[in-house]
Structures are given as C-alpha cells and as structure tokens.
Amino acid sequence: MKPGQYHTAGMQIDDPVCMDETEGPTVEQSLEVLSAALGKATEDLSAVRAAVDRVRVDLSAHNSSHSRTIIRDAERAVSHLRDAEASLKDVLKDLSETQ
C-alpha cells in the first residue's frame, strides 16, 4: 500500500446478504441480557438499600433537615421499581406459559 491509501476490505453493514434486518434477538439472547441486568441490579439495590438504611438511622438520631429533592427522587425510584416489578412478573408469566 502506498502512503495515503487505506485498506477498505471488510463486511458491508448495509449488505442485505450479510444482515437480515427482520431478525431480532433470540429468546435466549433476551433472557441472557435480562439475567445480567438482574444480577447487576441486585448488587446495586443492595448497596443503595444499605446506604438508605444508614441515612435513616442518622436522620432519626440527629433530626436534621435535608433537601426536598430526596423525597422527589425517592418517590420516582419507587415508581420505577414498581414498573420493573410489573414487567418482571410479565416475564415470569410468559416463561411459565411456555413450559
């Protein structure tokens, strides 16, 4: 290759022979991603729960004031957790129907 020239060989992304756009993730792939997300969420939720419990103890002992944004963010988190719980129940229902 001469200076200034680039190697351009490789798979074309928009080549219809190389990629079928109608095919999405498989059930196995979707469940693998869900399982990984659940594992990460389990760790994250445990850490957050421990931190929340520590702060609750401190708040009750010191009777200090905190920002109202904590209330807003806590309510939003609870709402998201309820949505996640409902979605996970749907997944479990779907899985039980396939057996």
Return per-residue pLDDT of the chain as tens, 99 residues: 444 444 444 444 444 555 555 678 899 999 999 999 999 999 999 999 999 999 888 888 887 777 889 999 999 999 999 999 999 999 999 999 987
Which domain covers residue 85, as residue numbers? Answer: 72-99
36/30 Cα distance (integer angstroms): 10
Whether 98 maps to a domain, the answer reads yes
Total structural domains within the chain: 1
Alpha carbon 95 to chain centroid distance? 20
Whether 88 maps to a domain, the answer reads yes
60/32 Cα distance (integer angstroms): 42
Whether 78 maps to a domain, the answer reads yes
Whether 14 maps to a domain, the answer reads no
The pTM is what?
0.66
DSSP 10: S
